[in-house]
């Protein structure tokens, strides 16, 4: 498939890398000669220096033969116009635009998008997606990530092991014997700079970030096995009143009425604006690096502190200060994911990456066919795929354990007639089963053969 990506920043670069690795013909457009040079040096894609919404630049990128355009430049307006030009002049079938400004995203302006107006098929707001991601994690204290599959029946949860975690130094295959009430499948481990698709005999170690699959109704028992038995967060402190901070506060007011939230914003005018927009959130004007301001916001009794200012250095320092002042858990937004291991080593409980959230959201929404959902766990790791076993797939009657491939594929869960099954050695695949798999990039071709379907895009 031919794809044009407008914007060679972190999101554009990662989308280009991912799509090119999966046998797509990718062209990247950006105004920055430096970013285009980086793309040419590191990726096997075509890169063009130019203004992404100009018809002549899109023509040079062969938009007339492209099936998809993904616009993720730094300008909302360029992204929107690029989609319009691609659809109107070049009949590009699928157009995706990243839009940050909340003024474009208010529900009352929803008619702005569609085939008869701005020709955009999918609008992605990083701020909204990050806010939703944080909001979901608040329901499971101790989790740094939580991903839903099969209409919420299955969760992939990320937790961090410490020396006090009950399952530390335990082989994965022994976890259920130590904790008979839990039923999980460990699908991934991040250990320092290593990303591991584990085997049943692998040990969980202190410092590991562990991803596991679990049925929605077994989450509480599973989290207890990892040393997290607390209830849902009830007191939240948000540091930073930018778009993400405001979106998060609105998300909390809408979906978590039992959570008491406070927000700190340094700019007086912005703080006043936020206070007018929110109903049940206390808004303080002050510096998040000022310990007196944090104490005034009762940071010592906050179950979760989320640092989402526009400066990731401020986020890191404010998170560490909050932890020192008594906060139970701190989440920090950083844009450079290479810094994540360092930030975690300093004592931050979880890192939030807008780039990762945005890339995953785009990938989730442009799949088709038997692939119902896909979520990227990050660079050089792998994807979690939800697919349906149909008659022509050749999987019917196979043992789930036969699909597993060391360090490449793990069958995490099966949904059969609404029931969640964590596979055992005797579990077989049946017609119309929904199968959730952890898959490395190197194993994509095998998955395509198993399901008799390419992992195509719209």
Q: What is the mean pLDDT of residues 35-41?
A: 93
- How does DSSP classify residue 64? G
Which whole-number Å values give the CA distances from 60 to 15, 47, 303, in the listed order? 20, 11, 53
Residue 11: pLDDT above 50? yes
Instruction: Report the pLDDT value the prediction gives residue 458, as an integer from 0 to 100.
Output: 40
Q: Which H or E run includes 154?
A: strand 154-160
Residue 30: pLDDT above 90? yes
Distance from CA of residue 431 to its chain's centroid?
30
Instruction: Report the pLDDT value the prediction gives residue 45, as an integer from 0 to 100.
Output: 94
Domains of the chain: 2-124 (3.40.50.720), 141-225 (3.30.70.1450), 235-353 (3.40.50.720), 358-450 (3.30.70.1450)
Residue 72: pLDDT above 90? yes
Instruction: Report the pLDDT value the prediction gives residue 457, as an integer from 0 to 100.
Output: 44
Q: What is the pLDDT of residues 360-370, one digit of tens each?
A: 788 776 655 56
More confident of the two residues 16 and 391: 16
| Largest CA-CA distance found in the chain, in angstroms, rounded | 65
Q: What is the pLDDT of residues 75-88, one digit of tens each?
A: 999 999 999 999 99
Which whole-number Å values give the CA distances from 124 to 279, 356, 363, 366, in the listed order? 26, 13, 11, 12
Instruction: Report the pLDDT value the prediction gives residue 345, as an integer from 0 to 100.
Output: 82
Query: How sure is the predictor about 297, in pLDDT bands with cuts at 50, 70 and 90?
Result: very high
Q: What is the mean pLDDT of residues 299-322?
A: 94
Return the number of other C-beta atoms located less than 10 Å from residue 56's C-beta.
9
End-to-end CA distance of the chain: 9
Nearest-angstrom CA–CA distance, 68 and 149: 25
Best CA proximity match to 186, nearest among 221, 164, 147, 156: 156
Q: What is the pLDDT of residues 359-411, one digit of tens each?
A: 878 877 665 556 677 777 765 677 888 888 877 667 888 898 888 888 889 99
Tokens standing for residue 32: 């920055």
Q: What is the pLDDT of residues 254-293, one digit of tens each?
A: 988 888 999 999 999 999 999 999 999 999 999 999 999 9
Give start and end residues of each alpha helix (H) in 297-414: 312-324, 340-345, 354-365, 400-403
Nearest-angstrom CA–CA distance, 45 and 126: 25
């Amino acid at each position: 498939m031919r794809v044009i990506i407008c914007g060679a920043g972190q999101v554009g670069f990662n989308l280009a890398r991912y799509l090119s690795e999966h046998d797509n013909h990718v062209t990247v457009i950006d105004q920055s000669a430096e970013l285009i040079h980086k793309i040419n040096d590191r990726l096997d894609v075509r890169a063009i220096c130019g203004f992404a919404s100009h018809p002549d630049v899109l023509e040079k990128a062969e938009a007339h033969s492209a099936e998809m355009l993904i616009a993720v430049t730094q300008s909302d307006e360029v992204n929107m116009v690029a989609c319009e030009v691609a659809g109107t002049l070049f009949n590009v079938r699928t157009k995706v635009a990243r839009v940050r400004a909340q003024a474009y995203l208010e529900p009352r302006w929803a008619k702005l998008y569609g085939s008869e107006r701005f020709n955009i098929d999918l609008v992605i707001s990083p701020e909204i997606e990050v806010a939703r991601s944080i909001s979901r994690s608040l329901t499971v204290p101790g989790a740094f990530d939580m991903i839903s599959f099969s209409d919420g029946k299955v969760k992939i949860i990320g937790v961090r092991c410490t020396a006090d975690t009950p399952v530390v130094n335990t082989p994965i295959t022994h976890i259920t014997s130590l904790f008979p009430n839990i039923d999980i499948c460990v699908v991934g481990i991040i250990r320092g700079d290593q990303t591991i698709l584990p085997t049943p005999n692998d040990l969980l170690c202190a410092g590991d970030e562990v991803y596991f699959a679990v049925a929605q109704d077994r989450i509480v028992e599973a989290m207890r096995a990892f040393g997290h038995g607390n209830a849902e967060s009830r007191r939240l402190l948000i540091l930073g009143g930018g778009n993400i901070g405001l979106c998060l506060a609105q998300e909390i007011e809408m979906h978590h009425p039992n959570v008491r939230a406070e927000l700190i914003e340094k700019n007086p005018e912005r703080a006043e604006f936020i206070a007018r927009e929110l109903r049940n959130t206390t808004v303080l004007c002050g510096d998040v690096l000022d310990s007196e301001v944090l104490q005034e916001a009762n940071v010592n009794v906050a179950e979760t502190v989320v640092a989402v200012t526009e400066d990731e250095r401020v986020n890191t320092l404010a998170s560490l200060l909050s932890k020192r002042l008594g906060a139970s858990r701190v989440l920090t937004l950083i844009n450079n994911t290479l810094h994540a291991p360092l930030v975690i080593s300093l004592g931050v409980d979880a890192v939030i990456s807008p780039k990762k959230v945005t890339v995953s959201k785009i990938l989730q929404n442009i799949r088709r066919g038997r692939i119902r959902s896909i979520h990227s766990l990050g660079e050089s790791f792998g994807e979690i795929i939800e697919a349906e076993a149909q008659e022509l797939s050749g999987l019917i009657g196979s043992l789930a354990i036969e699909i597993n491939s060391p360090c490449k594929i793990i069958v995490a869960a099966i949904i059969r007639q609404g029931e969640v099954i964590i596979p055992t050695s005797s579990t077989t695949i049946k017609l119309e089963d929904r199968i959730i798999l952890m898959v490395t990039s190197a194993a994509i071709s095998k998955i395509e053969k198993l399901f008799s379907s390419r992992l195509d895009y719209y």
